[in-house]
């Protein structure tokens, strides 16, 4: 009887589905978090009678007999939909409106990518992430700066005491990828380049294919609580139905074992 193993694959698939949904709900308030969705594929089929096989003479089976083996998780993809912008009034908070990722230098020297623009200053005045990772290209705010301005195109200017004109410190850049869903999630709101994502294209914000920056705002998570709860209920019901199939198969096997 294949029923037990088929139902087991369904229960395992829905467990993965619930794991993904619960992670979305847990990150409802995570800055720039992008919700994920699990997608499923049917498993290999046992070809009892192949479609088009001869049934006698010149006649052929129009559909044949193909019995499936269940379901598997085909992948978990990321939905890169723009999140709402939340005002923080922190001059070092920067939100991306549109496509693109900030570049961050990890302690290993590798480059990571993030849409979380909740930046701060290090003890040296360098713009860093909440974990202290420098934002590329490195921009240092001088001590005693009265005002810091970040334009929509990423130009960083600062007003120094005794100077009438603002001073340009540098230019923030954004990286874009051909396949954003191919980025590897590292945790800490960071992503790493992979062969699936392709190599990054780096340019100033506002360039073709890239978004612009908004100072004093943070991009919120794009998780929709109503959609996630609905998906959770659907996954729970699917799990219950598969468990009911296991119970039915057990009753059928019990009936068979009682034959005399």
* pLDDT tens sequence across 122-140: 999 999 999 999 999 989 9
State residue 231's pLDDT score: 95
Q: For 203-258, give the DSSP string.
A: E-TTSTT--EEEETEEEPP---HHHHHHHHHHHHHHHHHHHHHHHHHHHHHHHHHT
Taking the model in full, what pTM does it have?
0.85
Average pLDDT for 198-226: 94
End-to-end CA distance of the chain: 20
Check pLDDT > 80 for residue 96: yes
Check pLDDT > 80 for residue 85: yes
Confidence of residue 249 (pLDDT cuts 50, 70, 90): confident
The tokens for 30 are: 């995570």
State residue 145's pLDDT score: 83
The tokens for 63 are: 């559909």
Count other Cβ atoms within 10 Å, centred on residue 223. 23
Confidence of residue 259 (pLDDT cuts 50, 70, 90): confident
Average pLDDT for 48-73: 80
Look up tokens 């959770």; give the residue. Answer: 232
Confidence of residue 48 (pLDDT cuts 50, 70, 90): confident
Confidence of residue 220 (pLDDT cuts 50, 70, 90): very high
Percentage of the residues of the chain whose pLDDT score is greater than 90: 72
State residue 110's pLDDT score: 94
Would you kindly state where each structural domain of the chain is located, as residue ranges?
3-80+223-257, 85-219
Count other Cβ atoms within 10 Å, centred on residue 89. 8
Quote the mean pLDDT of the chain: 91
Check pLDDT > 90 for residue 39: yes
Check pLDDT > 90 for residue 167: no
Exposed/middle/buried for 52, CB within 10 Å: 0-12, 13-18, 19+?
exposed
**Could you give the CA distance from residue 225 to residue 230 in angstroms, rounded to a whole number?**
9
């Amino acid at each position: 009887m294949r029923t037990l193993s088929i139902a087991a694959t369904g229960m395992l698939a829905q467990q993965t589905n619930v794991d993904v949904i619960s992670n979305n709900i847990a990150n409802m308030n995570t800055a720039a978090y992008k919700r994920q969705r699990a997608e499923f594929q049917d498993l290999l089929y046992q070809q009892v009678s192949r479609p088009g096989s001869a049934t006698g003479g010149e006649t052929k089976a129009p559909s044949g007999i193909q019995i499936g083996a269940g379901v598997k998780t085909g992948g978990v993809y990321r939905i890169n939909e723009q999140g709402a912008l939340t005002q923080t009034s922190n001059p070092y908070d920067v939100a991306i409106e549109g496509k693109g990722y900030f570049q961050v230098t990890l302690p290993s020297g590798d480059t990571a990518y993030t849409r979380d623009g909740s930046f701060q200053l290090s003890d040296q005045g360098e713009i860093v992430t909440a974990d202290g990772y420098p934002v590329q290209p490195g921009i240092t705010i001088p001590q005693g700066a009265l005002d810091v301005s970040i334009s929509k195109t990423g130009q960083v200017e600062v007003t120094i005491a005794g100077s009438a004109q603002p001073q340009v410190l540098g230019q923030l850049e954004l990286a874009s990828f051909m396949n954003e869903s191919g980025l590897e999630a590292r945790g800490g709101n960071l992503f790493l380049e992979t062969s699936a994502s392709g190599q990054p294209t780096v340019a100033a914000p506002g360039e073709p294919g890239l978004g612009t920056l908004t100072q004093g705002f943070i991009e919120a998570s794009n998780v929709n609580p109503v959609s996630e709860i609905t998906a959770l209920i659907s996954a729970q019901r699917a799990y219950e139905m598969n468990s009911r199939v296991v119970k039915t198969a057990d009753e059928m096997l019990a009936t068979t074992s009682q034959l005399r």
